[in-house]
Amino acid sequence: MGILEKIAEIEREIARTQKNKATEYHLGLLKAKLAKYRAQLLEPSKSAGAKGEGFDVMKSGDARVALIGFPSVGKSTFLSLMTSTASEAASYEFTTLTCIPGVIEYKGANIQLLDLPGIIEGAAQGKGRGRQVIAVARTADVVIMMLDATKGDVQRELLEKELESVGIRLNRTKPNIYFKPKKGGGLSYNSTVPLTHCSEKLVQLILHEYKIFNAEVLFREDSTPDEFIDVIVGNRVYMPCLYVYNKVDQISIEEVDRLARRPNSAVISCGMKLNLDYLLETLWEYLALICIYTKKRGERPDFNDAIIMRRGASVEHVCHRIHRTLASQFKYALVWGTSTKYSPQRVGLTHIMEHEDVIQIVKK
């Protein structure tokens, strides 16, 4: 019995098991087994086959965005509109067969946009080069999920299921669970909040499935067994996802309104070039990028060449970005902008910068 058959068997078992107090341990064990088999499926096979064409693209620019979606939803058209790269687009499926990179220039930042081949159902098991597509998506900062507005919610559910099964968690934060395997001493189990989904017995059963008998577990939030399994496995990727509904010119205005009001969603039409500017603004928010301008002593700030940083960056991060030796020679900095109480404010290395701040660094 192959791994795929075992996975299918466990999924059928979970589907037909009633969810109540008596079966929660059984379901927890099944979920742990399922996660284990899926992890085995993602590991490359030991037998070295003929090497195919490379799929990943070298990371460049300030951030990386992956375009994921079913074939023929308008990913290549979107790439051609947003960037100066021309990706072949045609009215048949699988026009794009490899990863095509482009660069969006927005607010002084270079955002790398990857046009990936269409995903089909069963991609997580390797159908239609699905595994390589998903592996590239794991390296992105944000995923844009392109959906056909005329097809309803079927595509979204299928794609979420495919990404979920390979350890990509969309628009979710990492569970607040402290987990540390130990050499001995058995299981130490604690929680700072009342738990409704997990119990000590269930945690013990799941850990035994992974051959872990000595560990320290502390729940700081009311997590589900699935989230606890994610913490044990430890290779899950938590990333923001923007659901983009294309071809809105082919559906009614009421349907467009309904889709646009959904969380983490945007509606566009690549054919008629509708709403693309709003999508770029939303993407900027999701990437959490900020522009910082530098100023020389006695001169005006240089507003043409911004330093692009992540939100929450400190003065020390800015110093490292300018030159790696600058932080060691740092005396103080003068900052103008919204992060200060008054302008200019004299600050140290730990000061947190905000969007469009101006900084002047004084060396020792």
pLDDT tens for 236-265 read: 888 888 888 888 888 888 888 888 888 888
Q: How far apart are CA 102 and CA 112, in angstroms?
A: 6
User: Same domain for 69 and 190?
Assistant: no
Total domains in the fold of the chain: 3
298 and 257 in one domain? no
Question: 55 in a domain, yes or no?
Answer: no
Q: What is the pLDDT of residue 97?
A: 64
Do 358 and 309 have their domain in common?
yes
Q: 182 with 218, same domain?
A: yes
141 located within any domain: yes
Given 286, 320, 350, which residue is the final one in a domain? 286
Same domain, 141 and 244: yes
The verdict on residue 53 lying in a domain is no
In a domain, 294, yes or no: yes
Residue 51 lies in a domain: no
- Length reported for the chain: 364
Q: Are residues 151 and 83 in the same domain?
A: yes
Residue 223 and residue 244 share a domain: no
Least confident of 66-75, 113-122, 135-144, 205-214: 113-122
Question: CA–CA distance from 214 to each of 188, 192, 232 (Å)?
Answer: 8, 20, 13
Proportion of the chain above pLDDT 70, given as a percent: 87
Q: What is the pLDDT of residues 272-319, one digit of tens each?
A: 888 888 888 888 888 888 889 988 888 888 888 888 888 888 989 888
Is the same domain home to 350 and 215?
A: no
Same domain, 70 and 150: yes
% of residues, the chain, pLDDT over 90: 2
Q: What is the pLDDT of residues 34-48, one digit of tens each?
A: 877 777 766 655 544
- Confidence label for 22 from pLDDT (cuts 50, 70 and 90): low
Considering the domain architecture, whether residues 224 and 293 belong to the same structural domain is answered as no
- The answer to the question of residue 49 being in a domain is no
Give the whole-angstrom CA distance, residue 18 versus residue 13: 10
Q: Is residue 116 part of a domain?
A: yes
**What pLDDT was estimated at residue 208?**
84
Express each pLDDT in 314-352 by its tens digit.
Answer: 989 888 888 888 888 888 899 998 988 988 889 888 999
Q: How buried is residue 95: exposed, middle or buried, by Cβ count under 10 Å (0-12/13-18/19+)?
A: middle
**pTM attached to this predicted model:** 0.77
Domain residues for the domain of 268 are 63-87+96-171+237-286
Same domain, 167 and 249: yes
Q: Quick: pLDDT tens for 86-126.
A: 666 655 555 556 777 788 888 888 888 887 776 665 555 55
Is residue 357, in this structure, part of any structural domain at all? yes
Domain co-membership, 18 together with 147: no
Residue 92 is predicted with a pLDDT of 53
Task: Give the end of a domain, one of 286, 301, 316.
Answer: 286
